Amino acid sequence: MKNLMFAAVLSLGTMTAFAQEEETVVEEVATEVVEAQDAYAEVAVEEVPAAITEALEAAHPGATISKAYLSEEAEYKLEVAKEDGETAELYADAEGNWIEK
């Protein structure tokens, strides 16, 4: 009976160790993905080119830019508040052409 109890405790301890190791690997992968996606640096809304603000007004009348970000590839990521209260994340190049992401 003691051997059975010892085997059960040993099995439980082994499963717990593997579960903790797997969780750490998942956290590391998630961190790398976030870093890769956040290759944008925040810029002042006033620094957004006029071509983008004009394209925004044409595509989403009444929408305003809440935050703006710029990538090394000169692509802008915009956090936009629409008139109906809805928010959106849009991407554009410096010439005001929308980019699908």
Encode pLDDT of 88-98 as tens digits: 999 999 999 99
pLDDT at residue number 19: 52
Contacts of 62 (CB under 8 A, 6+ apart): 82, 83
Any residues with CB less than 8 A from the CB of 13 and at least 6 apart, and which?
A: none
User: Does the reported pTM lie above 0.75?
Assistant: no
Residue 12 pLDDT > 60, yes or no? no
Query: What amino acid is encoded at 59 in this protein?
Result: A
23 has a pLDDT exceeding 80:
no
Mean pLDDT of 47-56: 97
Mean pLDDT of 34-41: 67
HEC per residue, 28-50: HHHHHHHHHHCCEEEECHHHCCH
The pLDDT value recorded for residue 101 is 85
Give residue-wise pLDDT tens across range 57-69: 999 999 999 999 9
The CA-based dihedral angle spanning residues 87, 90, 95, 96, taken in that order and rounded to the nearest 10 degrees: -50
Residue boundaries of the structural domains of the chain: 1-38, 40-93
Helix H or strand E segment including 2: helix 2-37
Percentage of the residues of the chain whose pLDDT score is greater than 70: 62
Question: How confident is the prediction for the chain on average, in pLDDT?
Answer: 80
